[in-house]
A and B are shown apart, each in its own frame.
Chain A
Amino acid sequence: GENVEQHPSTLSVQEGDSAVIKCTYSDSASNYFPWYKQELGKGPQLIIDIRSNVGEKKDQRIAVTLNKTAKHFSLHITETQPEDSAVYFCAARLWGSGGYNKLIFGAGTRLAVHP
């Protein structure tokens, strides 16, 4: 079936360093790619998303890039801070046979930012 692969599963960085998380997807019809952040004891929350008609999107210290040809997209966090420590999930939108769409999530990346 369709899937989204996410790497690495864990990432440890020093405060102030950059962090990069990469995802690949299998359905070439996917056109929407969100990233969710899950803090301890909470549900995931959308932090940034990108559509297939653009290659890059930035929001302060976070950015997402998309390569449709290679079917991969990445999350970049610059100047990391301890509060960036969380589990990050990428996802891709998949269109179903009934005309409905759903998100397929990656396995998640646990990011630890050390002071």
Chain B
Amino acid sequence: DVKVTQSSRYLVKRTGEKVFLECVQDMDHENMFWYRQDPGLGLRLIYFSYDVKMKEKGDIPEGYSVSREKKERFSLILESASTNQTSMYLCASSPKGQETQYFGPGTRLLVL
């Protein structure tokens, strides 16, 4: 079974803090994705990566950055957290050439 794990299920941070969300997959997938999920807006793509040290902006990259130093790990970074970044963050991975994305359980982030 494909397993995508996210470092925290719940996180509370203060405005202005630097926040790291970690995602690890154990199936040697080339592709990794970060989404945020908000009621009424569905899943929106923040950043994605098709290889180590490679990153591409998604639809809403502002206020976020990412890091992919190792194939199995994709980190989402909020340089200076703001209250409008309170959301559910979902990480996903997929094998090269395949469309199916495998999601982690999500991290619910609250920025106060």
Contact = CB atoms under 8 A, between A and B. Distances in A.
Nearest to A110: B39
B45 to A, nearest CB: 6
Interface residues of B, number: 23
Interface stretch (A13-21, A59-67, A75-83, A97-105): A97-105
A44 B99 contact: no
Contact-residue size bin, chain A (C-beta under 8 Å from the other chain): 20 to 34
Nearest to B4: A43
Interface in B61-98: 90, 92
Contact of A108 (B42, B48, B59, B90): B42
Given A1-B59, A105-B42, A105-B43, A46 B105 contact: no
Interface in B16-48: 33, 35, 40-45, 48
A100 B56 CA distance: 9
